[in-house]
Amino acid sequence: MTSLQCPARILVARHGEAEYETEVCSDDGGSLTMLGRGQAAELADRLKGERIARVWTSSLSRAVQTAEIAASGLGVDVVVREGLREYGVGSLAGTTTGEQEYFSGVFRQWAAGDDATRIDGGELISDFVRRVGAVLDEAADAHPGETVLVVSHGGAILATLPQLVGLPRTRGLGISLANCGVIELEKDADGWRLVAGLD
């Protein structure tokens, strides 16, 4: 079997629990809480038998911290990619109320098929999904026949993965991905396949 036929196994995890310096909505990276650090260490323990080749991560600090703790426990290197970042807050920066409802409404519009949906001052949701998907493709293409851990964010994961594996956009709505929760995918010459998660 050639390397093109050997699937890359991609384990996509949400970062550990984080806290933020300010209560206002921002694109701040946040820092892991003590619980979040423990979750990242437990993630590494759960994956010790999986022969992880490398950890890829979003550049936001809560994801980088999660990735570094997991990578240290697994004895592998970390690759940081801007493209795995969470959706930006756009015009919501500096606001203190209603952002979750607003985000949810925007994502529901996009899931219903509105490709022009965006938060004022933010990227199109469809561009966001393409951005995250492009990095997942890059990680898979760089590691045929290997297993890679990718650390990202709830919105990035739940908006992107259903589309990547051919499921309806609505599949990610209403799913609550736990901190350091993992969704397993494979990619080979035929494309992406969901192995476990998204339920």
Is pLDDT at 122 greater than 70 in this prediction? yes
Residue 152 tokens, joined: 């990202």
In contact, 94 and 25? CB cutoff 8 Å: yes
Q: Which CATH class is domain 8-196?
A: alpha beta
In contact, 157 and 131? CB cutoff 8 Å: no
In contact, 73 and 101? CB cutoff 8 Å: no
3-33 tens-digit pLDDT:
557 999 999 999 999 987 555 455 666 889 9
37-72 tens-digit pLDDT:
999 999 999 999 999 999 999 999 999 999 999 999
Residue 54 tokens, joined: 């490398």
In contact, 61 and 89? CB cutoff 8 Å: no
70-111 tens-digit pLDDT:
999 999 999 999 999 988 767 666 666 555 666 778 888 888
In contact, 56 and 151? CB cutoff 8 Å: yes
Provide the residue ranges of all domains of the chain, joining segments of one domain with +: 8-196
